[in-house]
């Protein structure tokens, strides 16, 4: 039986969806349709048959004045025709946007699950989870259920097994990933550098290294020792995570690779990142966020503030104390509002859920703080 998953979002979203694909791999030949800018994912997951939707090529010819107006239609027709030759039994739309719904209309299969366009209209939602997913994940609001829980139920799949974080307290490498795909989700570089310096002094027995893509290496080498900046592919990064004590990162693809490798992880959830929706599918993952009034902001717009409030209010001392505590297998901390610390835990009724890991959430200035300073 051949199954196709349509995943036309970002690389991190696809990596987060991997447990859904693996749940079908035991009894099916699994195929995936991804956007063509993520060709490196084919090497990361050779167990799946990966096809590419020509998004970049379509954008180029649509904007080319010398290209025929019919060319984009021909490209789309050829793309769907090639996929239809594979005679899929089921197709799952994991994307939930208009273009994926239109594609689902052109793709052929005995069963189709998820958003589908047909006869000039979108097919009505099949279940209450599909309606919940549409209303919650297309809008900028908190969710009572993790993205994977809602997505699986909306396309009639079992909720995938949740990995549990491993004890890596004996490992000697901590990895930072500094940049995310969106500047408003980034913690400031000077804050990362201060954290690097203070953590290196606090735990000299553990080496801190900075994971970087080739395009990030020059910028990072200007702020960190060049011998600590490790340029690697996603496949190489995944191998490094398998023997790391901790990954500290923004809301990135590597956060989801940490879940896949059961690596302890601390995510800085800033900007449009929403810790109630898309944190690593990993029991025991940690998340630091900042509950400023504008958070979480919209994915599709720039930061609306004069200053990057969520980033600035997440203090280096808090991040340092949490990291040192995680390495010492500590489970509760004291943080100051608007900072918020949660731990991803399995709950019987709601599945994987962010649970407060703060002993207290003191208002700044209400109680004199005596943090450990290194």
Strand (E) or helix (H) holding 235:
helix 234-241
pLDDT tens for the chain, residues 1 to 374: 999 999 999 999 999 999 999 999 989 999 999 999 999 999 999 999 999 999 999 999 999 999 999 999 999 999 999 999 999 999 999 999 999 999 999 999 999 999 998 877 888 888 899 999 988 887 778 899 999 999 999 999 999 999 999 999 999 999 999 999 888 899 999 999 999 999 999 999 999 999 999 999 999 999 999 999 999 999 999 999 999 999 999 999 999 999 999 999 999 999 888 999 999 999 999 999 988 877 787 777 777 776 777 888 899 999 999 999 999 999 888 888 899 999 999 987 778 999 998 765 544 433 233 333 33
Q: Give the DSSP H or E segment for 90.
A: strand 88-93
114: phi > 0 → left, psi -120 to 50 → alpha, else beta; which?
A: left
Give yes or no for a contact between 122 and 112, defined as CB atoms under 8 angstroms apart.
no
Q: Residue 152 and residue 136: Cα distance in Å, rounded?
A: 14
Q: Name all domains of the chain by residue range, CATH numbers in brackets.
A: 2-154 (3.40.50.2000), 163-363 (3.40.50.2000)
The CA distance from 262 to 283, in Å, is 9
Entry pTM: 0.91
Q: Is 189 left (phi over 0), alpha (psi -120 to 50) or beta?
A: alpha
Please give the helix or strand (H or E) that residue 55 lies within, else none: helix 55-62
């Amino acid at each position: 039986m051949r199954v196709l998953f349509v995943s036309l979002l970002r690389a991190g979203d696809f990596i987060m969806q991997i447990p859904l694909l693996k749940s079908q791999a035991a009894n099916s030949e699994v195929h995936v349709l991804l956007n063509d800018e993520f060709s490196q994912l084919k090497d990361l997951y050779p167990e799946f048959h990966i096809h590419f939707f020509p998004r970049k090529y379509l954008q180029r010819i649509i904007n080319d004045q010398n290209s025929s107006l019919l060319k984009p239609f021909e490209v789309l027709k050829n793309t769907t025709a090639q996929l239809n030759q594979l005679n899929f039994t089921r197709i799952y739309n994991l994307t939930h946007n208009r273009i994926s719904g239109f594609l689902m209309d052109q793709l052929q299969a005995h069963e189709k699950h998820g958003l589908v366009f047909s006869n000039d209209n979108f097919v009505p939602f099949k279940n209450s989870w599909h309606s919940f997913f549409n209303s919650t994940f297309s809008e900028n609001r908190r969710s009572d259920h993790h993205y994977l829980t809602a997505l699986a139920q909306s396309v009639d799949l079992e909720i995938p097994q949740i990995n549990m974080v491993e004890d890596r307290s004996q490992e000697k490498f901590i990895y930072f990933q500094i940049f995310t795909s969106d500047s408003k989700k980034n913690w400031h570089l000077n804050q990362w550098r201060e954290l690097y310096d203070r953590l290196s002094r606090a735990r000299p027995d553990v080496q801190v290294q900075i994971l970087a893509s080739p395009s990030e290496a020059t910028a990072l080498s200007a702020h960190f020792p060049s011998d600590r900046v490790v340029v690697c592919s996603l496949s190489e990064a995944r191998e490094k995570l398998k023997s790391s004590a901790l990954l500290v990162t923004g809301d990135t693809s590597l956060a989801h690779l940490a879940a896949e490798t059961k690596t302890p992880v601390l995510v800085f959830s800033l900007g449009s990142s929403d810790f109630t929706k898309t944190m690593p599918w990993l029991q025991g993952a940690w998340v630091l966020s900042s509950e400023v009034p504008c958070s979480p902001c919209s994915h599709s717009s720039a930061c609306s503030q004069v200053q990057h409030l969520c980033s600035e209010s997440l203090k280096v001392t808090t991040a340092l104390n949490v990291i040192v505590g995680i390495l010492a297998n500590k489970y509760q901390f004291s943080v100051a509002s608007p900072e918020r610390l949660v731990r991803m835990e399995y709950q019987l009724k709601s599945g994987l859920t962010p649970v407060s890991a703060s002993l207290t959430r003191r208002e700044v200035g209400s109680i004199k703080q005596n943090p450990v300073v290194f």
